[in-house]
Amino acid sequence: MTEKSEFESDLYRTALAQLDRVAGRLSLDPDVHERLRYPRRALVVSVPIQMDSGKTEVFIGYRVHHNTVLGPGKGGLRYDLEVSLGEVTALAMLMSWKCALMGLPYGGAKGGVRCNPRALSLREREHLTRRYTAEIILLIGPDLDIPAPDLGTDEQTMAWMMDTYSMTQGKTVPGVVTGKPLIVGGSAGRREATGRGIVYALYQAARHFGVSLRGQKVIVQGFGNVGSVAARLLAGEGCLITGVSDIKGGVFNPQGLDIRQLEAHVAESRGVGGFPGAEPVTNVEILEQPCDILIPAAVGSQIRADNADRIKATIVAEAANGPTTPEADVILRERGVAVIPDILANAGGVVVSYFEWVQGLQYYFWRESEITARLQEVMTRAFNRVWALANKEGTDLRTAALMEGIRRVAEGYRVRGLYP
């Protein structure tokens, strides 16, 4: 690749460095390796919206397909002020490795609109979503690319996307997105899937380390879809949730927080701040509080070279995408902290998205107990495969997970060959 890149961003540099390192370990064919370093296609769109004030504002949106060699693109849609072409491209690349690692018939994709979703009214969010969907419509479809919720987007966002796409087709097309509300073809258990997948990954980690989850002290940074579900389910497993945070800051109590009461507090006051009986902490401080398991479930680059040596946890389960920088990764490894990498730990969401897509294509829906049993089976199998590979190769879990994911995508490129 030339020195100057269209995809310039910290996360893209990290994703490329990971790919290059693992390509060396796998002795990847240099021609396939070169192809894997670029997205297949990337679309940049402007999204003009009439704001509630009557003024028109233009937002910038992206949809990127990293590869579609194993199937249609799959990846979330993010509304965040940090969204850039480079970030979305890096996240699409991570989706490629994640889908392949989990054995799903998908390529890697991602989308985003640079905006502050909390500053938009419901009407503005709906218009933004519908216009963005119309602008990227050439790239999406049940057999082309299937978006899902991510940071700053939710079930409602997916319902608007599905409706907009369906209107252009003259028929209802549930398979164009996943993470939809149940009433319009969503799957039982999808909302909880990523958080539940984290718990299944932690079951296996605890089993391999010969400890029980019961009594483990857990801190969760980010109390959104993923973080709040992980916290609630782990509390149900007998863990002590000692700290949680959201974008405004966190709360900490070494004796444990009552998660049910905390959820009621969040529903009322729209944030964890001010929860009675807990001391306030910043998002920087919360990562450094004493605990056994740390779950970063907010945004990227939270564990860095400047704080990695103050992390007290013995296990870091990466719910967010890219929460640990490569420098911090080295520090954690040297300190003996086990990091369950994002492409494994948070894969529960895309696994149940796959179940939702299959159910939608067949118009045949499964019970929640079937969904969770199959999710547990897929997470357990993937975790144990990664664990065994890490032991065999003498590597950490991230390297092993990347090796497995990248090897499968590369094999797809090899057998399909290079068109024309």
Q: Which of 136, 231, 299, 337 binds ligand NAD (CB under 6 A)?
A: 299
- The sign one gets for the Cα dihedral 354, 37, 326, 204 is positive
312 is catalytic: no
From 21-29, 125-133, 234-242, 315-323, span contacting ligand NAD (CB under 6 A):
315-323
Q: Is 149 in the site for ligand NAD (CB under 6 A)?
A: yes
Short-list 229, 223, 268, CA closest to 250: 223
Output the smallest distance, CB 194 to ligand NAD, in A. Answer: 4
- And the tokens for 294? 């740390």
Output the smallest distance, CB 244 to ligand NAD, in A. Answer: 9
Q: Which of 150, 163, 292, 329 binds ligand NAD (CB under 6 A)?
A: 150
Output the smallest distance, CB 241 to ligand NAD, in A. Answer: 14
The residue with its CB nearest to ligand NAD is 224
End-to-end C-alpha distance for the chain, whole angstroms: 21
Q: Is 297 in the site for ligand NAD (CB under 6 A)?
A: yes
Nearer to ligand NAD, 25 or 103 (CB): 103
Nearer to ligand NAD, 126 or 246 (CB): 246
CB 251 within 8 Å of CB 257: yes
Output the smallest distance, CB 227 to ligand NAD, in A. Answer: 6
Q: How far is CA 335 from the centre of its chain?
A: 26
Q: Which of 14, 194, 204, 376 binds ligand NAD (CB under 6 A)?
A: 194
Q: Is 321 in the site for ligand NAD (CB under 6 A)?
A: yes
Site string for ligand NAD, 226-265 (x = CB under 6 A): xx------------------xx------------------
SS (H, E, C) 347-383: CHHHHHHHHHHHHHHHCCCCCHHHHHHHHHHHHHHHH
CB 271 within 8 Å of CB 248: yes
Site string for ligand NAD, 346-375 (x = CB under 6 A): x--x--------------------------
Output the smallest distance, CB 318 to ligand NAD, in A. Answer: 9
Give the 3-state secondary structure of residue 46: strand
Nearer to ligand NAD, 72 or 296 (CB): 296
Residue type, 31: D
Residue type, 342: D
Q: Which of 75, 112, 152, 185 binds ligand NAD (CB under 6 A)?
A: 152
- The CB density around residue 164, as the number of other CB atoms within 10 Å, is 18
The DSSP string of 200-245 is HHHHHHHHHHT--STT-EEEEE--SHHHHHHHHHHHHTT-EEEEEE
Residue spans of alpha helices (H) in 69-189: 85-101, 122-135, 155-169
Query: Cα(121)–Cα(50) distance, rounded to whole angstroms?
Result: 12
Q: Which of 107, 147, 174, 222 binds ligand NAD (CB under 6 A)?
A: 222
Q: Is 107 in the site for ligand NAD (CB under 6 A)?
A: no
Q: Which of 74, 98, 110, 217 is catalytic?
A: 110
Using CA atoms, how far residue 237 sits from 94, 190, 240, 260, in Å, is 30, 20, 9, 14
Write out the H or E segment, with its range, that includes residue 111: strand 107-114
Output the smallest distance, CB 197 to ligand NAD, in A. Answer: 8
Site string for ligand NAD, 67-106 (x = CB under 6 A): ----------------------------------------
Angle, nearest 10°, between helix axes 122-135 and 155-169? 50
Q: Is 341 in the site for ligand NAD (CB under 6 A)?
A: no
Nearer to ligand NAD, 226 or 371 (CB): 226
Binding site for ligand NAD (CB under 6 A): 149-152, 194, 222-227, 246-247, 283, 297-299, 319-321, 346, 349
Residues noted as catalytic: 110
